[in-house]
């Protein structure tokens, strides 16, 4: 339960608003223990393409409204396998949004293609379809649409745009487990949907990934790439094409099968909490929740994001506002920087692998004003807080109000903190 609100903000020495911790992450129980024990006793735990991981990936694909699911090592490799299956490589361009984890772009580099960075929608933070259309050239082969914090990119516009221009659409769903668009799961709209099961994600085995799709040929091409270039049904040592070893282990499959069992209830709880928190934050001057599109039924809520206007908080810098929330007991994340600000691109640090095929784009000249501003003006909260009781979740709004009331004093005493 929330503590009594004191006049003095915690960052200035007052008693923190919250004394009780939010739920921890990850969550596990006897379901994981039982399935891990079954894998151990079955003796096939050394396999990288066993039934447990395979069955989990298929069940997860169906949960996300897709026909096929592949169990892979992580969410970076799922993107790489998707691009490889789409025959994207040297000389090809792939459009990527400015607000995302770097893997959305480095997976493009991994297949020797060129990432083209474009700006995002100012409210949802997802890729802006108008910016995508403006960036298309004869070399463009695909679009990576990232569903940021589980908020779906505009799939209606993106699917139509890609169909008109003959482009592949790859949905980066690392944040979007459980997100639906017009009643269908995220990841089932494009040629591929890529999901991460890394430690912080909404389902986790520490690492892991699932690649979903609806096309049997694309599935087979992606699996061949992930399975050392093998072809299903052929001799084990028949390798007709290039591939890598990107297979998930049975241990991970067991943990994730248990995670999937409890996920629907967690997803529903997070959605209830997110909607309530959005209503509460909307009543605070200077705070604006990330847009939740009406065409989404549920949102994965990998984190909870809201826009912050420092002017409504006596000019308090974003990092000081975040520190003030953390002092009140709110579990904080942090926004991705815009890809346009990363040294990887600005200094062209592509490494030896790309010496002969490095992108020729002058990334130092690329500016993404919306993405860059969003990185400097959005607050990202850990998704575990959304698993708490709704009244505890609303402590985020209470803490923000408390900080706003004490903002002049915080800025006067700590204004140099960034």
Which residue in 247, 270, 292, 307 is the catalytic one?
247
Q: Is 184 a catalytic residue?
A: no
Q: How many CB atoms lie within 10 A of CB 384?
A: 18
SS3 340: helix
Q: What are phi and psi of 169, to 5 degrees?
A: -115, 120
**Degrees (nearest 5) of the Cα angle 137, 143, 144?**
145
- What is the DSSP code string of 249-289? PHHHHHHHHHHHHHHHHHHHHHHHHHHHHHHHHHTSTTEEE
Q: Which two tokens stand for residue 54?
A: 């395979």
Give backbone dihedrals phi and psi of 228, rounded to 5 degrees, phi first.
65, 25
Q: Is there a catalytic annotation at residue 272?
A: no
* C-alpha closest to that of 155 among 168, 171, 140: 171
Task: Look up residue 363 and give its DSSP letter.
Answer: G
Catalytic residue of the set 58, 198, 290, 299:
198
Active site residue 417: no
Out of 101, 263, 306, 313, pick the active-site residue.
101
- Active-site choice (18, 175, 177, 219): 175
Q: Is 87 a catalytic residue?
A: no
CB 122 within 8 A of CB 338: no
- Integer Cα distance of 210 and 153 in angstroms: 19
Please pick, among 92, 128, 172, 392, the residue that the annotation labels catalytic.
Answer: 172
Confirm whether 101 is a catalytic residue: yes
Active-site residue (options: 237, 294, 355, 418): 237
Catalytic, out of 201, 270, 398, 402: 201
Q: How would you class 130 by CB atoms within 10 Å of its CB: exposed for 0-12, middle for 13-18, buried for 19 or more? A: middle
Q: Is 295 a catalytic residue?
A: no
Annotation says 201 is catalytic? yes
CA 8/CA 397 separation, integer angstroms: 16
Q: Given the residues 230, 269, 292, 384, select the one marked as catalytic.
A: 230
Verify whether residue 156 is a known catalytic residue. Answer: no
The secondary structure of residue 127, as a DSSP letter, is: B
Distant-in-sequence, close-in-space partners of 364: CB < 8 Å, separation ≥ 6: 345, 346, 347
Q: CB-based contacts of 334: which residues, under 8 Å, 6+ apart? A: 322, 380
Which residues form the catalytic set? 101, 172, 175, 198, 201, 230, 237, 247
């Amino acid at each position: 339960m929330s503590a009594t609100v004191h006049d003095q903000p915690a960052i200035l020495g007052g008693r923190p608003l919250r004394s009780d911790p939010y739920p921890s992450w990850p969550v596990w129980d006897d379901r994981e223990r039982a399935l891990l024990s079954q894998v151990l006793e079955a003796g096939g735990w050394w396999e990288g393409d066993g039934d447990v991981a395979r069955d989990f990936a298929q069940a997860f694909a169906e949960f996300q409204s897709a026909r096929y699911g592949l169990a892979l090592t992580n969410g970076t490799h799922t993107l790489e396998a998707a691009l490889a299956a789409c025959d994207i490589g040297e000389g090809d361009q792939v459009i990527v949004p400015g607000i995302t984890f770097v893997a959305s772009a480095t997976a493009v580099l991994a297949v020797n293609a060129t990432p083209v960075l474009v700006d995002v929608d100012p409210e949802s933070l997802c890729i802006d379809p108008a910016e995508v259309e403006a960036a298309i050239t004869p070399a463009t082969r695909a679009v990576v649409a990232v569903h940021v914090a589980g908020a779906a990119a505009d799939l209606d516009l993106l699917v139509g745009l890609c169909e008109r221009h003959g482009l592949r659409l790859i949905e980066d769903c690392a944040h979007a487990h459980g997100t639906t668009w017009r009643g269908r799961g995220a990841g089932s709209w494009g040629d591929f949907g890529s999901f991460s099961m890394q430690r912080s994600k909404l389902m986790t085995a520490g690492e892991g990934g699932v690649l979903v799709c609806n096309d049997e040929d694309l599935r087979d091409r992606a699996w061949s790439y992930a399975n050392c270039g093998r072809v299903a049904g052929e001799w084990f040592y028949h390798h007709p094409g290039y591939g890598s070893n990107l297979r998930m282990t049975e241990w991970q499959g067991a943990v994730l099968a248990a995670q999937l069992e409890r996920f629907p209830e967690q997803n529903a709880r997070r959605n209830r909490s997110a909607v309530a928190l959005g209503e509460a934050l909307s009543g605070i001057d200077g705070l604006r929740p990330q847009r939740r599109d009406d065409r989404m039924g549920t949102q994965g809520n990998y984190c909870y994001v809201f826009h912050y206007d420092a002017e409504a908080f006596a000019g308090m810098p974003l990092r000081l506002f975040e520190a003030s929330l953390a002092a009140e007991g709110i579990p904080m994340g942090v926004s991705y920087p815009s890809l346009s600000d990363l040294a990887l691109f600005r200094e062209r640090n592509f490494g030896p692998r790309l010496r002969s095929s490095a992108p020729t784009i002058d990334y130092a000249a690329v500016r993404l004003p919306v993405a860059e501003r969003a990185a400097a003006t959005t607050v990202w909260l850990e998704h575990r807080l959304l698993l708490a009781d709704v009244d505890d979740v609303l402590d985020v709004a209470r803490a923000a109000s408390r900080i706003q009331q004490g903002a002049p004093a915080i800025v006067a005493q700590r204004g140099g903190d960034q």
